Amino acid sequence: QYAVGIDIGGTKTAIGLIDSNGQVLAKTALPTGSEPSHMVDEIAAAVNKLIGDAGFSASSLKGIGIGAPGPLDTKKGIIAEPPNLREWWGFPIVDSMKRYFSVPITFENDATAAALAERWVGAGRETDHFVFITVSTGIGAGIFSHGKLLTGATGNAGDIGHIVIDPSVGTCPCGQKGCLEFIASGTAIARMASELVGREISSKEAFDLAFSGENAEVKELIDRVFRYIGVGCVTMINTLDPELVIIGGGVSQVGAPLFDAVTDYIQKHALNPSGRRTRVVPAALSQDAGLIGAAALIHIDYK
């Protein structure tokens, strides 16, 4: 049996067929359109084409898992108000998909689904208690606790991008001051580093300037950002008592400097002795994490 995974993102929507071992059998991607009901037509057509081209029978399709950015409402099956999918606000994605398919359809936020992917075939295979944090354009987390996903009442648990870390840095678009996402995401690193050097640079260029020794101010900024991520991790560790923290997303590509800094911060500041020993590891899945996570919502009993 196979499942369909659909990962709706700000720019593209990835669609795949995933078997019960977490293998991606076939996949495709569409640009995420601004007309959601039209987009659902296209998604349904793409799913049927993938199944047809692969020569699978529709009867062995176990279900369709959908991941999308939050805020959403999994109780109602709607995409609520994700900042980078404005045209989709309030769209009933689950009911719309049900018009095309009669198999079970599950729906969770993308970071939560990616956490389940890490548990299934990634860095979280060995533990029933871990937090997956993605540091990319924004910052989000998926929480796996007691062998189950912790989704919250409406699927929005783990939105750690908006825990307050340092109010002195400025006001986040959400209205709070000093949110983690506003001061430590890839977007934030690029914004703050660009201010320092007086031209537009990416977060990757900021890391290059910092670690080549070329710019001491940018190095200080990056050290501060890694400490902020450490503070976020300690908050999660003190709250949830995980055995493992998995960090993924584009910014985690920087590798050892981030993982060493966060590990060091946790060793110093987590409140309890076992918390201070929490391991911090890179995500094992990168580009297909969203797809595999969406399909995992069907293959795995996660609730």
Binding site for ligand ADP (CB under 6 A): 136-137, 186-187, 190, 202-204, 207, 249-251, 253-254
CA distance 135 to 130: 16
Residue 136, both tokens: 């990319």
Least distance from ligand ADP to the Cβ atom of residue 132, Å: 13
**Using DSSP, how many helices (H) and how many strands (E) does the chain show?**
10, 10
Tell which one of 113, 139, 141, 179 touches Zn ion (CB under 5 A): 179
Tell which one of 45, 174, 238, 303 touches Zn ion (CB under 5 A): 174
Does position 25 interact with Zn ion (CB under 5 A)? The reply is no
Least distance from ligand ADP to the Cβ atom of residue 193, Å: 10
- Beta carbon nearer to ligand ADP, 129 or 204: 204
- In order, the DSSP letters of 10-60 are SSEEEEEEEETTS-EEEEEEEE--S-HHHHHHHHHHHHHHHHHHHT--GGG
Q: Give alpha helix (H) positions in 55-109.
A: 93-98
26 with 54: CB under 8 angstroms? yes
- Beta carbon nearer to Zn ion, 51 or 160: 160
Least distance from ligand ADP to the Cβ atom of residue 27, Å: 16
Does position 172 interact with Zn ion (CB under 5 A)? The reply is yes
Q: Which of Zn ion, ligand ADP, none sits in contact with 172, Cβ below 5 to 8 A by type?
A: Zn ion
- Beta carbon nearer to ligand ADP, 244 or 285: 285
Least distance from ligand ADP to the Cβ atom of residue 135, Å: 7
188 with 222: CB under 8 angstroms? no
Least distance from ligand ADP to the Cβ atom of residue 249, Å: 4
- Nearest CA to 184 among 160, 209, 205? 160
- Beta carbon nearer to Zn ion, 180 or 292: 180
- DSSP structure class, residue 279: E
Question: Pairing mode, if any, of strands 244-248 and 130-135?
Answer: parallel
Place of tokens 């920087």: 254
Least distance from ligand ADP to the Cβ atom of residue 290, Å: 8
- Beta carbon nearer to ligand ADP, 51 or 165: 165
- Beta carbon nearer to Zn ion, 43 or 179: 179
Region of residue 77 (phi > 0: left; psi between -120 and 50: alpha; otherwise: beta): left
Print the binding letters for residues 147-166 with Zn ion: x by CB under 5 A, - otherwise.
---------------x----
* Cross-strand pairs, 208: none
By CB under 5 A, name the binding residues for Zn ion. Answer: 162, 172, 174, 176, 179
